[in-house]
Structure 1
Amino acid sequence: MPKLYQILLLLSFMLALVTPVAAQKGVAVVPPRNERAVDSLRRVFARHPHDTNGTKALVTLMFNFQYNDTAQGGRYGRQALRLAEEIGDRRRQARASYNLATLAAQRGQPDAAVRLHMYSAKQFLALGNSLWAGHNYANAAKRRANQGRYTEAMRLSLRGLRLRRAAHDTAAEADSYGAIGQIYLEQQNLPAAQTAYEQSLRGWQQMHVAPYVISCLNHLAIIHRDAGRFERARAYLAQGLAAARAQPDTSANGSLLLTLAVLEQRQNRWAASLPLLRRVEAAFEARDPGNVTPAAFADVYSIMGESLVQTGHAAAAAPYLAKALALARASHDRQEEVDALEGLADLAAARADYRGAFTYHRAMEVLKDTLRLAATTRTVAELQTQYETEQKEARNQVQAAQLRAQQQVIRRRSVQLWAGLAIAALLGGVGYLMYTRRRLRREIEFERERQQLQQQRAAAVLAAEEAERRRIGADLHDGVGQLLSVVKLNLSGLSEELGSRLNADEQGRFADALDVVDESVREVRDISHDLLPNALIKQGLARAVREFLDKLQRPGRLRIHLETLGLDAVRLAPGVEHALYRVVQEAVQNIVKHAHASEINLQLIRHATELTLLVEDNGVGFDTAALGPDAGLGLRNMATRVAYLGGELEFDSRPGRGTSITASVPLPA
């Protein structure tokens, strides 16, 4: 690769990384545009509209317009990509799609940006350029992390890290570790975040890049502060402040002081936090307003307000907390809104305004519940992904153990073959054989223990999933359901009180409102019962399945036949009942959603040593050979649960001939 081309690629990458961040902070980073060069490039393209010189001119034109006329830059980029694909210019395909991804991110189109980054990564890998393929994966991971899709962001980050490490680029590797640390920090996985940021810090220190060194020190201080290791947090902050004093840009100093102020608050040193917060406030307000986001101001104001409340300056705290709440809502930052509401509740309590304190506290709890539900959803998805990853690693380890065992057998036979040549060789071979057999036995024992641990891990994941279902179902039933019931009682009472004074239209509106509340109560109850089936807990598998199927019956459209043998008077182990109930639930719901069936036959038959589940439908069917490793999440969940019980799951289906699902699960004697 020519040296000039390498320099242009590096400049393009640094701009792609720096400009979105600068734009977020309000900093206008606009490379100057050389109009004479633009005119020259246009003439080059006019002379070469269908060859490589034309694609080169278009890509360079796109770069000239990328940060000062994004619409024109996008047009040149799309034209360059089309021409590069037509003539098979893979290098320009890679570059144009990378820059188009950057433009999509600037326009707030993360899905389009990720799609273009993946396309660019594919082209760079085909060119043998692992470094720029890694840059694409790293940028795609940042887009997913900004969307809160942490599982996908982590997968992309790890792929980018491997590619950047293979290219031996220390700066890129340090950037990947920092992004991974941020993902772990967002999920409050402090040990993993600490490890990643320590790796990132070592890389930036090796490269002597002071701003990124200071950022890593600040994040490590936050991690140790949140973990309660206050002295270690202070040590990192001291290093960061010393490094920041040597830099002309004082923005990092404000972030470090803010971290230190929160550290003082965590240790109940409220008065000591105030001078630090005033320095942070002055530093933020002295800068160009476009350089600090509203969410950052909301964070500073809410922290300042809390310190003022705790030190008895309620009057001074009020405007800070009011501004914090307004800025948090304007920037749609829910966590900052929670902090502002908590500060306002403390302020109202300090003023003996207990009604206001209750109002703010209730609003804060509602918002916290919303955030907690979203976090729970992500956690379940993370557990599922982690479990599937561990399963794949376990299969790889089993294959490696089998390969080692085969190698041992080959070695042993070789020794036996040569043993007949001489007694000395025979004795040596026997000794070696005994040694290898002992080692193989140890390896087999180790493999057995590992498989047991894998089984326990799978059980823990499924148990955690069931526990989370129970918690969410109970919260819906006891929280939202009870609130809706209270609303219904109040509306009914109000309707009775106003009955004679309401005209027919108003009475009809009251009746409609009561109907909506009734429907909401039923909907919450159905969701709660699906997550926490009482029949399964109290009466066993057969009764729970029967109640579940009764809800799905559709006279004239869907007939469901259930047959249970040996289960009506017998309870199975709770883990077996829960797993089989979820398998039935997943299978029937898949039929209802996708099979377009009019009849379902379901059998649960308990034998002496095993339990058989059979689910048949007369729907459209599907091609089981086309499933492969990309089978849907529902089918994988069914297979995972049956495998956890030590059973076997089989699918028998053809397009147009319906589907049959059979599960056989061993039962303890």
Structure 2
Amino acid sequence: MIKIRGLMGGTLVMLALAGAAHAQPKAQILPPARDTREVDSLRRVLAQHPHDTFGTKALVTLMFNFQYNDTAQAGRYGRQAARLATAIGDRKRLARVGYNLATLAAQGGHNDESVQLHLRSAREFAALGNPLWAGHNFANAAKRRINQGRFAEAMRLSLRGLRLRQAAHDTAAVADSYGAIGQIYLEQQNLPAAQTAYEQSLRGWQQARVPAYVIHCLNHLAIIHRDAGRFARARAYVAKGLAVVRTQPDTTANDGLLLTLAVLEQHQGHWAASLPLLRRVEAAFNRRVAGNLTPGARADLYSILGESLVQTGQAAAAAPYLAQALALARSNRDLQEEADALEGLADLAAARADYRAAFAYRRDMELLRDTLRLAATTRTVAELQTQYETEQKEARNRVQAARLRTQQQVIRRRSVQLWAGLAIAALLAGVGYLLLNRRRLRREVEFAEERQALQQRRAAAVLEAEEAERRRIGADLHDGVGQLLSVVKLNVHALSEELAPRLSPDEQRRFGDALGLVDESVCEVRDISHNLLPNALIKRGLARAVREFLDKMQQPGRLRIRLETLGLDDVRLAANVESTLYRVVQEAVQNIVKHARATEINLQLIRHAHELTLLVEDNGVGFDPAALGPDAGLGLRNMASRVAYLGGALDIDSRPGHGTTVAATVPLPA
């Protein structure tokens, strides 16, 4: 008699050998060994930082070190990390430790607790803007619900995880989600849907190049085609899986495929052909990983092997396998495996002509299968009941909402009738008020425009008067004081040469000092005159004047100034624009020299089609513009007022220790 096995025939063995799909599919299959030196170092860090982020990080890492070796200690570290992360508001560590605590709960069989922790961790990761790890949490919560047989909820969680993982473009994680969806369909015997999901998962794992999970998907597809009666296609998928196994140094996955192939032989009635395959799988279990197999996986193998032994006339050899299968299934409370073992024992008793025992075994088997069908029906009914209650509640809410809307409509009609007369009167009063208010607002706007125009004219007059005064003082200095000092210099020089033969060395030195002071005064007057009335600005334009000014400000070895101009070399701007911008450059550079302690200044003058941009940057000590408040320096206020006079905008960006950037944008007339 053939037993149709959906998952136990291959999945549990495959998971035991190759590792179950995980939220991080590329993680190691074998648990990491605990690093004692790292644990000691982390404990020292925790002792030094018991109340800050470093302590939280140490606790999370300690939890991971004990997670696969001492789950109780790992749980203690995890709960301590969660409390500390909550206390200090470390949401990143809180999200991560929630994920690890959920994994620990699942390892202990506490599926409901694991689901709640995964959902809480998902919310934290979503708040942190990490949709991928939120998706990992939903995917693992779905696997816990699959273990509980709550497939409707598992499907909802799997789809949420799939959408988040797809949005993060994580190929391996998307493949993992499709694998979980395929498992849900397979548990419900929806073979076409399971096939589609596992084919999607296979393509993802092949693209991610993870051979263990490629084999996992090929094995499931073989099981699906086998149970659907497509034996040739099932055999082809097993062959593909074995070909992948041969390319890998770890050949444990070979045994899962061999078990699937053995059950396929049973389906086709080739009982003798299934025995060598099952013996190879049994030897591999005993030699390598029998201690790591779940009781359900071992019960499944012994039940399948015992069935083949019975069908090939080896009743004595079959008896201990079937007895072990029954004992393991009962110890694990696995009703499906217990029913399979009882069926094998019934066939064994019939082969021995012990029909009373065969009847008893088959009766117990039918009772168990009735119990399984009832449990499945109960779960379905519970889900339908929940859905029905939800729909009923929504229907009651809709009825109540409809009644409320009707009452509100009646109230609104009466209110409309009540307020209609008042509204008309209020409308008339409002129209009159609006007309008066509109007239008042128009006058206020006109006054505001006049005030703004007056302020602009005042600012323009002040700046023009200031520029005119600068020109007058510069001209007076150059033509008056400068000329007089030049004459004094010539006379002193002539007198020095005339009296030189009669002067003592000390008197000659004093004449020389006087002549040097006069010469220095002439240079100083000339510099002041040129600053007040730049000759280059008048004759050659803004770019040349700025370049000459910066050449004078250069301090070799102490201050380097770079100038970049674009669109200004052969173009003259309006006189007021050139003079105003020149003063802004003067003020900005002199402020840097006086206060910034900078070693570099970068200055840009760029002319666009309809505006001109000035940018002055330095690497000095910087300052906080907001801290100046109303007491800002006169230089900054002068620059702002000059740029505003031209209709432009001035922006100052500075922080202590990060230099200063002054940017001005001035519109240009067509």
> What TM-score, normalized to structure 1?
0.54
Offset of 1:33 from its aligned partner? 2.0
Count matched residues: 385
Offset of 1:650 from its aligned partner? 5.5
Offset of 1:164 from its aligned partner? 0.7
CA RMSD of aligned residues (A): 3.0
Query: Equivalent residue for 1:32?
Result: 34
Q: For residue 253 of structure 2, what is the amino acid of its counterpart?
A: A
Map 1:420-439; keep pairs closer than 5 Å. none
Question: Deviation per CA, 1:86-108, whole angstroms, max 9, x where unpaired?
Answer: 22221111112112222222222
Map 1:268-279; keep pairs closer than 5 Å. 268-279=269-280
Query: Equivalent residue for 1:228?
Result: 229
Map 1:318-329; keep pairs closer than 5 Å. 318-329=319-330
Question: Deviation per CA, 1:303-329, whole angstroms, max 9, x where unpaired?
Answer: 222222222332332222222222222
Query: Equivalent residue for 2:85?
Result: 84
8 Å CA contact 1:16, 1:102 repeated in 2 = no
Is residue 70 of structure 2 the alignment partner of residue 74 of structure 1? no
Cα distance in 1, alignment partners of residues 40 and 272 from structure 2: 63
Q: For residue 76 of structure 2, what is the amino acid of its counterpart?
A: R
Is residue 125 of structure 2 the alignment partner of residue 144 of structure 1? no
Offset of 1:19 from its aligned partner? 12
8 Å CA contact 1:177, 1:197 repeated in 2 = yes
Distance change in 2, residues 1:20/1:315 (3 Å): farther
Cα distance in 2, alignment partners of residues 147 and 303 from structure 1: 24
Offset of 1:332 from its aligned partner? 1.8
Q: Which runs of 5+ in 1 are unaligned?
A: 1-12, 389-632, 655-669
Cα distance in 2, alignment partners of residues 318 and 47 from structure 1: 62
Question: Deviation per CA, 1:8-67, whole angstroms, max 9, x where unpaired?
Answer: xxxxx9998689997xxxx7x2432243x4444444444444333332333233333333
8 Å CA contact 1:20, 1:106 repeated in 2 = no
Distance change in 2, residues 1:96/1:323 (3 Å): closer
Q: For residue 163 of structure 2, what is the amino acid of its counterpart?
A: R
Cα distance in 2, alignment partners of residues 18 and 31 from structure 1: 19
Question: Deviation per CA, 1:340-377, whole angstroms, max 9, x where unpaired?
Answer: 11111112222222111111110000000000001112
Distance change in 2, residues 1:80/1:311 (3 Å): closer
Offset of 1:251 from its aligned partner? 2.2
Offset of 1:274 from its aligned partner? 1.9
Cα distance in 1, alignment partners of residues 28 and 185 from structure 2: 20
Question: Deviation per CA, 1:636-665, whole angstroms, max 9, x where unpaired?
Answer: 34777x99xxxx9569999xxxxxxxxxxx
Distance change in 2, residues 1:225/1:384 (3 Å): farther
Query: Equivalent residue for 1:341?
Result: 342
Question: Deviation per CA, 1:154-203, whole angstroms, max 9, x where unpaired?
Answer: 11111111111110000111111111111111111111111111011001
8 Å CA contact 1:262, 1:273 repeated in 2 = yes
Question: Deviation per CA, 1:609-635, whole angstroms, max 9, x where unpaired?
Answer: xxxxxxxxxxxxxxxxxxxxxxxx536
Cα distance in 1, alignment partners of residues 83 and 176 from structure 2: 32
Distance change in 2, residues 1:14/1:193 (3 Å): closer
Q: Which moved more, 1:232-241 or 1:267-276?
A: 267-276
Map 1:273-312; keep pairs closer than 5 Å. 273-312=274-313
Q: For residue 219 of structure 2, what is the amino acid of its counterpart?
A: N
Q: For residue 34 of structure 2, what is the amino acid of its counterpart?
A: P
Secondary structure at the residue paired with 1:68?
coil
Cα distance in 2, alignment partners of residues 638 and 127 from structure 1: 35
Q: Which runs of 5+ in 2 are unaligned?
A: 1-19, 405-670
Is residue 240 of structure 2 the alignment partner of residue 243 of structure 1? no
Map 1:369-380; keep pairs closer than 5 Å. 369-380=370-381
8 Å CA contact 2:305, 2:318 repeated in 1 = yes
Cα distance in 2, alignment partners of residues 186 and 53 from structure 1: 45
Relative contact order, higher structure (CA 8 A, sep 6+): 2
Query: Equivalent residue for 1:174?
Result: 175
Offset of 1:130 from its aligned partner? 0.6
Map 1:104-115; keep pairs closer than 5 Å. 104-115=105-116
Task: Name the % identity.
Answer: 73
Cα distance in 2, alignment partners of residues 263 and 329 from structure 1: 26
Question: Deviation per CA, 1:117-154, whole angstroms, max 9, x where unpaired?
Answer: 11111111111101111111111111111122211111
Distance change in 2, residues 1:77/1:303 (3 Å): closer
Cα distance in 2, alignment partners of residues 310 and 70 from structure 1: 44
Distance change in 2, residues 1:14/1:310 (3 Å): closer
8 Å CA contact 1:295, 1:331 repeated in 2 = yes
Query: Equivalent residue for 1:58?
Result: 59
Question: Deviation per CA, 1:472-493, whole angstroms, max 9, x where unpaired?
Answer: xxxxxxxxxxxxxxxxxxxxxx
Map 1:144-543; keep pairs closer than 5 Å. 144-381=145-382
8 Å CA contact 2:21, 2:213 repeated in 1 = no
Distance change in 2, residues 1:66/1:357 (3 Å): closer
Cα distance in 2, alignment partners of residues 43 and 214 from structure 1: 44
Offset of 1:236 from its aligned partner? 0.4
Query: Equivalent residue for 2:130?
Result: 129
Distance change in 2, residues 1:122/1:370 (3 Å): same
Q: For residue 123 of structure 1, what is the amino acid of its counterpart?
A: E
Cα distance in 1, alignment partners of residues 192 and 64 from structure 2: 41
Cα distance in 2, alignment partners of residues 244 and 96 from structure 1: 36
8 Å CA contact 2:126, 2:134 repeated in 1 = yes
Offset of 1:383 from its aligned partner? 5.4
Cα distance in 2, alignment partners of residues 634 and 239 from structure 1: 48
8 Å CA contact 1:305, 1:343 repeated in 2 = yes
Distance change in 2, residues 1:266/1:167 (3 Å): same
Query: Equivalent residue for 1:634?
Result: 389
Secondary structure at the residue paired with 1:287?
helix
> What TM-score, normalized to structure 2?
0.53
Secondary structure at the residue paired with 1:111?
helix
Q: For residue 368 of structure 1, what is the amino acid of its counterpart?
A: R
Q: Which moved more, 1:104-113 or 1:235-244?
A: 104-113
Map 1:598-637; keep pairs closer than 5 Å. 634=389, 636-637=391-392
Cα distance in 2, alignment partners of residues 189 and 15 from structure 1: 23
Cα distance in 2, alignment partners of residues 639 and 112 from structure 1: 29
Offset of 1:384 from its aligned partner? 6.5
8 Å CA contact 1:217, 1:236 repeated in 2 = yes
Q: For residue 69 of structure 2, what is the amino acid of its counterpart?
A: N
8 Å CA contact 1:33, 1:65 repeated in 2 = no
Q: For residue 231 of structure 1, what is the amino acid of its counterpart?
A: A
Map 1:644-655; keep pairs closer than 5 Å. none
Cα distance in 1, alignment partners of residues 54 and 313 from structure 2: 71
8 Å CA contact 1:345, 1:361 repeated in 2 = yes
8 Å CA contact 2:25, 2:173 repeated in 1 = no
Query: Equivalent residue for 2:550?
Result: none
Query: Equivalent residue for 2:538?
Result: none
Cα distance in 1, alignment partners of residues 402 and 204 from structure 2: 54
Q: For residue 197 of structure 2, what is the amino acid of its counterpart?
A: A
8 Å CA contact 2:23, 2:137 repeated in 1 = no
Question: Deviation per CA, 1:423-475, whole angstroms, max 9, x where unpaired?
Answer: xxxxxxxxxxxxxxxxxxxxxxxxxxxxxxxxxxxxxxxxxxxxxxxxxxxxx
Q: For residue 389 of structure 2, what is the amino acid of its counterpart?
A: G
